[in-house]
Amino acid sequence: MSVDFRKLKSFVKIVDTGSVSRAAGILRTAQPALSQQIASLEAHFKHKLLIRSNVGIAPTEAGLILYRHAQLMLKQIEQAQIDIDQAAKSVAGRVSIGLATYSSSSALSLPILKEMKARHPHIVVHINDSFGHILSELIMTGKMDMALIYAANPIKGVTLQPLFREEMFLVSPPGIELPGESNTPLPLSELQEIPLLLPSKAHLLRRLIDDALARARATPEVVSEIESVPALSAAVLEGLGSTILPASVVTETASFSGAQVRALTKPVIDATVSLCVADHLPLSEPAIAARSVLLDVVGKLMSSEHPGIRPA
C-alpha cells in the first residue's frame, strides 16, 4: 500500500471537521471510501489514527503527529502546483514550427497561433509553410524546432512521430463536368483528359500523385506547376485546371470557396503526416510547450471528423 496525497487530504479533512460524514460531503466522496482510506493509512503506519468519542472523531497521538506532517505536505504540494502553473504561464522565448505545404497541417497554423497566445503569450511563434525548403533538413540542422511533414519512413538525423494519414481529393473549378456521379469516387484512370495544376516534381505530394497515376496507367496532362496556395486556388477557380489536395486544405482555405471536391480511387492517394524533431538536439522549454499545444490541436483535428483524415 502506498500513501498518496488523496488519502492524506481525506484524513486531514476528517480531523478538521471531526466527522466522516461531514468530510465526505465536503470532499464529495462516499463515506465507505473515506473509511477505507483511513484503514489503509492505519495499516501502513501500524497505528490507530482516529478514535470516536461522544463529541465526534478525534486524532490519537499518532494521528496528531500524522496530521501535522500531512498538513505540511499538502501545503507543499499545493504550492508546487502553483509554482508549476506560474512557470508554465511565464515561459518565454521563440519557437519555430514548419507545416508541410499542400497538407492538412497547413490549415493548423491559425489554431496553433491562437492556442499558443492563450496558453503561452510570451512565446514568439514562427510559422513556416513556404515552398522551397526541405523541412526535415531545417530540423536536423537546428534552424527549426519542429515540423509537421509528409513522412512515414525513417529520416536520418530526425525522429518522426506519425500523427495521421490524409487522403487526397480532386479539386476542380465550379461547374466543370467530371466523369461519373458527383457523389461517387472518381477512378484515377479518368484523369487522363483532365488538365492538372500540380506542385513540382521535387514535392513529395507530386511524387505520390505521379506514382498513383502510373499504377492507374494514366498519363496526366499537367498544364502548370504551381507552388503557391493562393495562386493555385485562383487558377482552379479561374477554370485553368484541377488539382489534387487533401479535402481539409480546401475547406479551411477561403480562396478555394466554390471549388468542386471529389474523392479519388483505384488507387486512393494518401500520405502520412508526422511530427518531426531533431534526434540529437534537445527541445528548448518554449519548444516543449509548443509541441504540447501542437499535439492538442492535431487531436482536435482528428476528433472533428474531417473528410479523408484518419489515425496513422
Model confidence pLDDT, tens digit, residues 140-153: 888 899 999 988 78
Query: Which tens digit of pLDDT belongs to each residue from 195-240?
Result: 999 988 888 888 899 999 999 999 889 999 998 888 999 999 999 9
Q: Concatenated DSSP letters for 180-246? A: S-TTSPEEGGGGGGSEEEE--TTSHHHHHHHHHHHHTT---EEEEE---HHHHHHHHHTTS-BEEEE
Averaged pLDDT for residues 90-109: 84
Looking at residue 3, what is its pLDDT? 63
All 3 cell numbers of residue 113? Answer: 497561433
66: left (phi over 0), alpha (psi -120 to 50) or beta: alpha
Q: Cβ distance 279 to 157 under 8 Å?
A: yes
DSSP code, position 78: H
Residue ranges of domains in the chain, CATH in brackets: 5-86 (1.10.10.10), 90-311 (3.40.190.290)
Is residue 1's pLDDT more than 50?
Answer: no
Q: Which amino acid is at 135?
A: L
All 3 cell numbers of residue 293? Answer: 499545444
* pLDDT level of residue 290 (50, 70, 90 thresholds): very high
Closest residue by Cα to residue 267 from 242, 244, 249: 244
Say how many residues make up the chain: 312
Q: Cβ distance 236 to 173 under 8 Å?
A: yes
Query: Which tens digit of pLDDT belongs to each residue from 242-254?
Result: 999 988 788 777 8
Query: Which tens digit of pLDDT belongs to each residue from 29-68?
Result: 899 998 998 899 899 999 999 998 877 899 999 989 999 8
Compute the distance between CA of residue 28 and CA of residue 164 in angstroms, rounded to an integer: 40
Looking at residue 133, what is its pLDDT? 63
